[in-house]
Amino acid sequence: MNMSLKGLCRAFINFISRKIRFLKYHIFLYFPLFFYFGSRSYIAQDEGYYALQSRWILDSGNWLAPMWWSEPVFDRTIGLQWLIASFQSVLGNSIFVSHLPSLISGIITLIATYKISQNLLGKDLSWISPFALSMSFLWINNLHLATQDMPLLALELVGVYSFLKTSSSKDNIWKFLSGIWIGLAFMLKTFMVLLPLLSIAPYLYLYSRKALRSKYFYLGIVIGFLPFIIWLILSINLYGFLEVSNLYTKLQHLSSTDLYSKSPLYYLWNLPLKTFPWSILAIIGSIFSFKYFSLKTNMIVLYYPLILLTLLSIFNTKTPYYALQLTPYIALQSTIALKYLVQNRSNIVAFLSWIVSILGLIFTSLSLLNLKYKFLPLAFSGDINIASALLLLLGLFWALSIFTKSAKSFFGFFIIGLYLSFVILVQSGLLSDRIPDFRIAYSNIVFPEKFHEEEVDFVFPKGNLTSHSFSQVVSLALPTKRLGHRLDETELLIKGQYAWIDNSRIPELHSKTYKVITKSPIFRPWSLIYLVEE
């Protein structure tokens, strides 16, 4: 009954490879990547800001203007805030409910990616595309953020798939859908929709000119823009053209500011890093795609993302989440790479298995060292060091891939190691409990009796906050049961009032009798005070 280590590993590999076939049939595998049921907290910028504006919609009944306390702030449209407020009006005000628009949009992106893959690459391995997408850090991170980016990506992918169908199907519904998404996307993120439209323009010119001449396409555009047009007209009538024109002013600011300006090469290193290891496979897939696929297919899987990457790189403002629009195409190219490598590229697979197994050994070593020296930045969850757990699990599976005999077995270990690591990442709460220290500190405040029945004001001048102070204000306002007013001056505070105030302004209260309820360092520069009733 003696069996060598190598024999045991091969027996385990054979068992795992038989189970790989079940992946494409088990939708429940996505469940632990989507849903986390532990404690949650918002990251202040930007999801906390959207959640706060959605709360003001429900508190004030004003569904027209994005608000900052009682003042309209037209620095963005109100599409996402409508979605969040709509869900909260039905299901209640909770952080989980605020994330439902992103979670539902994430499901749509997976389905659309699968359908695009099936349409362009065939049915055999099309299940890999959404699976690879779900295991890209950039995608999974934005899935668990209550921001505009995942809904925008969902609409873009629906648009791309609709354009594909218009070139092969006579059904008018696809022409309608290929138009309606444009206006809805504009309502979410205004002029950002121009980038995917410019990127897909060559495909439309070559293969979908008939759709562009269809009345159903333009009917879709009109209906898609109706929410934005109605909202814009009502907003101008109520708040004036000058106030609402800040929408355009914000675009000018983003295109010229140096605050988010980065090198034109920014996405060439940031995107591969945030989508590793699929970015490496995508490079291989791009070579196969250029060599074997038709121009029509490459217009979507190769040239569309290249044009979009170029446009994003030209735009002065660069942030990691703009590149989210490219992640489905990295998944598609990874599917192409796996398709051809599994079929007839044994030498390349052998080379990759050595590279992956070496990386596995490195990750395993780092995890063991980190258990002792704790030098990696990821947070702890109870007694578990998440960084060590992730690296150890991924490292062990990748290190064992050297014992595989076939390409299918190798990629089975490759994918399973990634999948289990991403499950740990999501279920650890790192992507849902963004500021746990702040959440715990707030919950530990010893509030006076009946505090939650009283309004709490904030004292700071309009438009005069540092980025850190602004984030702290958002984080403090979100858990406050009854938000009061924003006050410019301390003189406006009255007896019996609670307020968050900048520590540097507390000396201005010298003529008033007050009590400091909390001055925790984690809330800096803010302290919660109570104006004593004499």
**Separation of alpha carbons 222 and 216, rounded Å:** 10
Residue 241 Cα to chain centre, angstroms? 32
pLDDT of residue 9: 58
At 518, which helix (H) or strand (E)?
Answer: strand 514-518
**Separation of alpha carbons 348 and 283, rounded Å:** 13
Helix (H, G, I), strand (E, B) or coil at 529: strand
pLDDT of residue 133: 95
Q: What is the pLDDT of residues 75-128, one digit of tens each?
A: 888 999 999 999 999 998 899 999 999 999 999 999 999 999 999 988 888 888
Q: Outline where DSSP puts E strands in 413-513.
A: 456-459, 483-487, 498-502
pLDDT of residue 19: 45
More confident residue, 285 or 258: 285
pLDDT at 310 over 90: yes
Measure the CA angle with vertex 93, ends 88 and 95; round to 5°.
Answer: 100
Best CA proximity match to 115, nearest among 164, 150, 177: 164
Q: What is the pLDDT of residues 226-251, one digit of tens each?
A: 999 999 999 999 988 888 888 776 65
Amino acid identity of 345? R
Per the prediction, the chain carries an average pLDDT of 85
Best CA proximity match to 134, nearest among 9, 269, 33, 239: 33
Q: What is the pLDDT of residues 146-200, one digit of tens each?
A: 999 999 999 999 999 999 998 877 888 889 999 999 999 999 988 888 999 999 9
3-state secondary structure 329-369: HHHHHHHHHHHHHHHHCHHHHHHHHHHHHHHHHHHHHHHHH
Q: What is the pLDDT of residues 456-499, one digit of tens each?
A: 999 888 777 888 888 999 999 999 988 989 988 888 888 888 99
DSSP readout, 77-109?
Answer: -SHHHHHHHHHHHHH-S-HHHHTHHHHHHHHHH
For 527, the token pair is 């302290």
Of 5-14, 129-138, 407-416, give the lowest mean pLDDT range: 5-14
Residues 6+ apart with CB under 8 A from 139: 106, 109, 133, 275, 324, 327
Helix (H, G, I), strand (E, B) or coil at 277: coil
Most confident of 16-30, 150-164, 329-343: 150-164
- Domain ranges in the chain are 5-22+346-427, 35-335, 437-531
Eight-class DSSP state of 202:
H
pLDDT of residue 92: 87
pLDDT bin (cut points 50, 70, 90) of residue 272 is very high
pLDDT at 361 over 60: yes
Alpha helices of 374-458 — where are they, by DSSP H?
386-400, 407-427, 436-443
